[in-house]
Amino acid sequence: MNRTTRLSGLTGTLLAGTLALAGCSGDPGHEGMSQGSSTSASASASGDAAARYDDDPDVAFAQGMLPHHQQAVEMAQLAADRAADSRVEDLAARIEAAQAPEIQTLSGWLEAWGAEATGSTGTDHGSTDHGDMGGTMSDEDMDALTNASGAEFDRMFLEMMTAHHSGAVRMAETEIADGEDPDAIAMAEDIRDTQNAEIAEMQELLAEFGG
């Protein structure tokens, strides 16, 4: 059962409950009961919807990948005035060009699904389902990368982005295996293929740089 079917069923249930309560509202003897039942039903429905989103692999994927991409773009933007090797600068530009549009897509999905734009864990830029997969950089890592330049930056960028990409690939593979939304699965497949190729490219550069 997909998300649209589940939400349609929930909407129908709430509508039926509202009509039934409206029919009872003219009876003074049931006025208090109707109000109490309505409040209880609404709270229960809200809780059920929240539980669905907590367990939804597509929502978890979007929540985890959104901040992950945002950090990758932040890292890539540092290369423009810090990288010594033009191949590192070119790679960073390609990463930004690929992931910036996906950030907009992921944000749009979460808004359309009525889900929060961030996952339930803060430090690893992912949701509970993807918590240990992100490969994201700590604040200290980002500070070190920001303060580096030249050959030192190149090596550090390649090492960090390789780990970062590896985390994204694991998150994407989870979505491919468990997801239901065809568009989200298609994005996950593209992320897996693109970033695996970039990992191989970065490993070759690191070997050349002696990293």
Provide φ and ψ at 121, rounded to 5°: -115, 135
What is the pTM (predicted TM-score) of this model?
0.71
Question: Which pLDDT score, from 0 to 100, does residue 121 have?
Answer: 35
Show the beta-strand stretches assigned E in the chain. Answer: none
- Distance (Å, whole) CA 205 – CA 41: 59
Q: What is the pLDDT of residue 83?
A: 98
Q: DSSP E strands: which ranges in 43-113? A: none
CATH number of 56-209: 1.20.1260.10
Structure tokens at 29: 């003897």
Tens of pLDDT, residue by residue over 45-67, are: 344 444 445 589 999 999 999 99
Q: pLDDT tens digits for 142-163?
A: 999 999 999 999 999 999 999 9
- Average pLDDT for the chain: 79
* CA gap 190, 182 in Å, rounded: 12
* In the chain, where the domains are located: 3-53, 56-209
- Tell me the chain's radius of gyration from C-alpha atoms: 23
